[in-house]
Chains A and B, each alone.
Chain A
Amino acid sequence: MASANPDQLKLARNLNSKGILFGIARLANSSRAFVGSSDFKVYEVDLTDVKAEPKELGAHNSYVTSVAVADKTIISGSYDGRLIWWDAEKRSQIRAVDAHGKWIRRVLATPDGKVAISVADDMKCRLWDVESGKMLRELSGHKAETPHHFPSMLYACAVSADGKYVATGDKVGHVVVWDVATGKELATVETPVMYTWDPMQRRHSIGGIRSLAFSADGKQLAVGGMGKVGNIDHLEGKARVEVFDWQKGERTHEFPGDKFSGLVQQLTFHPDGEWLLGAGGANDGFLQFFNLKDKKVLRQEKVAMHVHGFALNEESDTIYAVGHGKIMVYEMKA
């Protein structure tokens, strides 16, 4: 039986941070994690020690939007367009790569730690050899402009457990699943509700696909964002998740949101498929557990900050959520 039980979800502790944290990645089987901050820096934090000061690894030239762990190597991505490789043990920079012409939104590593994946507002997804820092492949096809002639953005990516598929999702709700081996598009799905263009009242847009996740078997693809927004000055659309059988091109689940407003910033499947966890927020945040079998929301909990990202432990019973000024640790031990 699973060790994690969302019914038992409770806030265990808060850890201090510096600035607004946009992403977190854990070093496997340890209490060490790495976070990216609005003060341009990458820090190591001890997830068990509430008194410990974050330890600085080094800095980008802008907001650090995402951090990935590839075995013992840390890779951070930033609005400065660079990816920086860090040595987790020495806490020192290995290399910096000018990876994208625009702002990097997300960086991931394949489960085997060999390949890093980045997406940026140049609308490209790039695959990197973790060992050498060389670019392996470029996945290109998302449109640079919205249908309304404004710059689009490429916020989200995910990689399947076997490392064969990469999914990317953009501002207007367009998702592409790529074959990593060939760089070809395998499928596309659309979530137009996640993009709100206001043609009349305020004449710009809000929204976008902010999170993607493959199920353990790679067949299901979850897409997170926000539903239609009335007043686009605020993140007042309902937090929204859609799940696709991407190979069939079928939407299997729609969770339009009934409790929380805001963006779903990150999605993760339980390794055994028991639930899908989403987190995000507007002014405040939320954690949401979905039971895909019964197509039901298992549990949804308010979080006292907009959750920009989170990491799980090996047992999937502890959530390390990052956001504005703090790291919040939630436990749900069975």
Chain B
Amino acid sequence: MAGQRRGFFCGSLDHSLSRRGFLGAAAAGAATFATDMTALNVLQQPAFASELKKQQKRVILLWLAGGSSQLETWDPKPGAATGGPFRAIQTAVPGVQISELMPKMAQRMKHTCIVRSLNTKDGDHGGGAKLMMRGRRDEANVQYPDLGAVLAREMGRVDSQVPDYVSFYFATEGRGFAPGSSGFLGARYAPMELTQSMIPENIRRLADINDLDHAERADLRDLLSKQFTQGRVNSTTSSHNEAYQRVRGLMSSEKLFDISQEPQKMRDLYGPTQFGEQVLAARRLIEAGVPFVRVARAWWDSHGQNFETHQEMVPELDHVMATLLDDLEQRGLLEHTLVVTLAEFGRTPGINASLGRDHFASAWSATLSGCGIKGGAVYGKSDPTGNRVVDGQVGAAELFATIYRALGISPTKNYYVGSRPVPLTEPGTKAIDAVLA
């Protein structure tokens, strides 16, 4: 009886198999999966050596919000009517050229692969941002966790003293389009979002309580709560207590956010811009074990004056990204750390009357550097004008599968929403083997 009565999924086992069924799984049963969530946490205990190895891996996502232009970065088309004024330059990898606005990355292409054949079909900021942060579209009743939340769960530790998912997004434009979202994984994997200050809100003890009292007050709270929750456990009460249990650990991670702890020389290397400082903070965080940090650089939406905007912003990206890769390499972290550049979409090859480029999701680029990546590889190809993909077309799902594989996570791994298995990427999705080490 119990097995059949919840017939509100579009089926049951065929979800993991049938694409049609998957789409139709609108009625995902939020009702029961919550209780599974508490159990899921237990599964995160590092049980095997391979798990331990996996947990050393880290990701920094450089989120180029608003949509940077592939033509002025990773897929230049010099000389084409759509190519714009900037030239292409040879990189350290024979045969691979990128925009002249990125001379520093050109020298470091041995760490980086470019995917030049994204066709993601959504040229809307909100839709595109959600798609590219989650690797798929939400269904009416299944809100998917984004990349950060999935990796926080896959690579974070239950007893972690550091946050699992940190997101810097100071610019106000576009921040609301794809706020960090843990979807059905719940608030445990929601990001610590920094939007105004480099130090997270409420992470510092108030001056009028001493440290011991602060700790013992928390113990008293736990004790009172434990009495109450006897015979009253559900996923929400559990989340309440888990949240408090993480407070002290998070407070001890305050220094990780403080870039003044870095030698001046290191700060000078990253440079004085906000993006540079946040990427330096991101490096400090992942070095301390934070599995996922997003640094959003907004706002690239160059409807007017595309070339001026990219002339201004690309050199900063070039400099900061190159500095980050150097720094990670020198610390021996690059082989464990995946650096991703991604946006909600790219920009039109066509140049509009304001010398701008508009939204374009049909043929654009992303890069993966470091961990698990075949450096110097270029995957896929756009046509000579950049208007469409002519080789190796991939979407968000394939890119996400590739990221998971690079980190040693199986893209077919299932989460369970109620009894419904939800694989990390949609069934049948293939990772891009050609760029994996």
| Contacts from A to B (Cβ < 8 Å) | 19-20, 38-40, 61-63, 79-80, 103, 121, 148-151, 153, 200-206, 208, 233-236, 262, 282-284, 305-306, 324
B: number of interface residues (CB 8 Å):
37
A204 engages B312 (CB within 8 Å):
yes
A19 to B352 alpha-carbon distance, docked (Å) = 12
Residues of A within 8 A of B4 (CB): none
A324 to B171 alpha-carbon distance, docked (Å) = 33
A19 to B355 alpha-carbon distance, docked (Å) = 12
Of A121, A151, A208, A234, the residue contacting B354 (CB under 8 A) is A234
Residues of A within 8 A of B78 (CB): 62
Of B84, B272, B354, the residue contacting A235 (CB under 8 A) is B354
Closest residue of chain B to A306, judged by CB? B353
Closest residue of chain A to B315, judged by CB? A151
Inter-chain CB contacts under 8 Å: number: 90
A311 to B173 alpha-carbon distance, docked (Å) = 40
A305 engages B171 (CB within 8 Å):
no
- CB A280 to nearest CB in B, in angstroms, measures 11
**B147-194 contacts to A (CB < 8 Å):** 170-173
Closest residue of chain A to B272, judged by CB? A149
A62 engages B86 (CB within 8 Å):
yes
Residues of A within 8 A of B354 (CB): 234-235, 262, 282-283, 306
Q: Is B249 an interface residue, CB under 8 A from the partner?
A: no
B312 engages A233 (CB within 8 Å):
no
A197 to B247 alpha-carbon distance, docked (Å) = 38
Q: A20-B351, A150-B312 are in contact. Are A103 and B298 (CB under 8 A)?
A: no
Residues of B within 8 A of A20 (CB): 351, 355
Residues of A within 8 A of B316 (CB): 150
Q: Is B271 an interface residue, CB under 8 A from the partner?
A: yes
Chain A CB count within 10 A is highest, among B78, B171, B299, B353, for B353
A153 engages B85 (CB within 8 Å):
no
A204 engages B273 (CB within 8 Å):
no
A233 engages B87 (CB within 8 Å):
no
A63 engages B171 (CB within 8 Å):
no
Q: Is B313 an interface residue, CB under 8 A from the partner?
A: yes
A234 to B302 alpha-carbon distance, docked (Å) = 7
Of A203, A206, A306, the residue contacting B171 (CB under 8 A) is A203
B87 engages A61 (CB within 8 Å):
yes
A38 to B316 alpha-carbon distance, docked (Å) = 26
A-B contact sample (19 more), CB < 8 A, given A20-B355, A62-B78, A284-B353: A19-B81, A38-B81, A39-B81, A40-B79, A62-B87, A63-B84, A79-B86, A149-B271, A149-B273, A151-B312, A153-B311, A201-B173, A202-B299, A203-B171, A204-B299, A206-B309, A235-B305, A235-B354, A282-B304
Can you show 5 pairs from A to B with CB atoms below 8 A apart? A149-B273, A153-B311, A203-B298, A206-B308, A236-B304
Q: A19-B81, A153-B308, A234-B304 are in contact. Are A202 and B298 (CB under 8 A)?
A: yes
Residues of B within 8 A of A284 (CB): 353
B292-315: CB near A (< 8 Å → 1, else 0) gives 000001110111110011011101
Q: Is B291 an interface residue, CB under 8 A from the partner?
A: no
Q: Is B135 an interface residue, CB under 8 A from the partner?
A: no
- CB A171 to nearest CB in B, in angstroms, measures 8
Q: Is B349 an interface residue, CB under 8 A from the partner?
A: no
- CB B22 to nearest CB in A, in angstroms, measures 36
A200 engages B171 (CB within 8 Å):
yes
